Amino acid sequence: MFRNRKIIAFLLVISTSLLATFSFYFWQVAKSANLNVDGKEAAVLYIPKGGTYEGVLDSLNGQKLIHDQISFGFLSKFMNFRDSVKPGRYEIEPNEDNRSFIAKLRSGAQDEVKLTFNNIRLKSDLAERLSANLSIDKEILLNKLNDPAVCEKYGFTTENIMCMFLPDTYFMWWTLTEDEFLDRMKHEYDVFWTDERKGKAATTTTMSPVEIGIMASIVQSETNKTDEMPTIAGVYVNRIKQGMPLQADPTVKFAIGDFSIKRIMKKHLSIDSPYNTYKVQGLPPGPVALPEKKAIDAVLNYGKHSYVYFCAKEDFSGYHNFASDLSAHNANARLFHNAMNERGIK
């Protein structure tokens, strides 16, 4: 009898010790730092569509983000993650533990991408930028941007669809599809084009939002000085009202396809293109860059003046000299051309 009690007591001690040991081990497996150990900032794990548990491990190992693969594997199986891999972009905080990160992966609680795009002129540039930051296929997106039916769905043509993409910073899911991205951009476009802006476009400029976007792309290509944009916009509005060609150098660069040109020469003006506004009357069929919001507002609030000419200042400050008649403009142009010659700009 006494012996049986000793055996039972011994077994209880052993069981308690084993339970305590297992509990401590399990706590270590779950709560100890195991991912991005000693990292200074959040790291990122990308899981593509169709991704597997083995692929997750390969990525973590490849980036040297996992300290103990055995403990991660044990808890992954215990938490039923191995068969619940979800695509997405997942940030890993410095010294993150297994349990919190596996729970994040299993639930698909991905982190958004902070996407900023600007200084983009061509569809191919946009597709390249997006495919570098989202899981979007650039060729699929390009095909959609060149598809008349897709563009018509959003109220645009293949030539002016780029007006829909307003440069800004957006937060998006990395797993966004091409169609979901286009839907999001149309939503952002509609949000920006408030009834107030639409009303001002109709009454003040007599241009459609798309036409304003096209003009805005030219204005911003002429100057990066926000305070000067309304004045330049006013020049182009005056030219249109007076039946003058726009004669906008950025449209010629776009027509040629060479944006490195620093000086437009007579040989450049001979190109046959609907974007050569020296030869074609009115606005080109599409924007020459993604129209920025500040440039659109500059066109909507264009300067009321008599200027129909402008020329870069000879001090290369980025600002312009404006003129209401050709003789004054020619004098300004000579100053600038002389300054370019002195600097050897061709």
Binning pLDDT at 50, 70 and 90, where does residue 207 land? Answer: very high
Q: Which amino acid is at 289?
A: A
Alpha carbon distances (Å) from 170 to 116, 137, 158: 6, 19, 24
- H or E stretch covering 100: helix 98-107
Task: Name which of 211, 203, 206 is nearest 160 in CA terms.
Answer: 211
- C-alpha 85/C-alpha 50 separation (Å) is 8
Q: What is the pLDDT of residue 344?
A: 79
Tokens of 120: 């983009």
Kindly report, residue by residue over 23-74, the tens digit of the pLDDT.
Answer: 444 445 555 788 888 888 999 999 999 999 999 999 999 999 999 898 999 8
Kindly report, residue by residue over 266-291, the tens digit of the pLDDT.
Answer: 888 889 999 999 999 999 999 999 99
Helix (H, G, I), strand (E, B) or coil at 268: helix
pTM of the predicted model as reported, rounded to 2 decimal places: 0.86
Residues in the chain: 346
Is there a contact between 102 and 75 (Cβ–Cβ < 8 Å)? yes
- C-alpha 193/C-alpha 164 separation (Å) is 11
Identify the sign of the CA torsion 20, 26, 27, 29: positive
Q: What is the DSSP string of 147-213?
A: -HHHHHHTT--TTTGGGG---EEEEE-TT--HHHHHHHHHHHHHHHS-HHHHHHIIIII---HHHHH
- C-alpha 277/C-alpha 281 separation (Å) is 6
Going by the DSSP 8-state scheme, the letter that residue 38 receives in this structure is T
| Averaged confidence pLDDT in the chain | 90
* Triad 268, 333, 272: Cα angle to 5°: 20
Q: What is the pLDDT of residue 22?
A: 45
Q: What is the pLDDT of residue 234?
A: 97
Q: What is the mean pLDDT of residues 248-274?
A: 89
Q: What is the pLDDT of residue 27?
A: 43
Tokens of 197: 């802006």
Is there a contact between 155 and 173 (Cβ–Cβ < 8 Å)? no
Q: Which residues make up the CATH 3.30.1490.480 domain(s) of the chain?
A: 26-107
What are φ and ψ of residue 73, in 5° steps?
-65, -40
Q: What is the pLDDT of residue 269?
A: 86
Kindly report, residue by residue over 302-320, the tens digit of the pLDDT.
Answer: 999 999 999 999 999 989 9
CATH for 26-107 is 3.30.1490.480
- Whether residue 262 is predicted with pLDDT greater than 50 in this model: the reply is yes
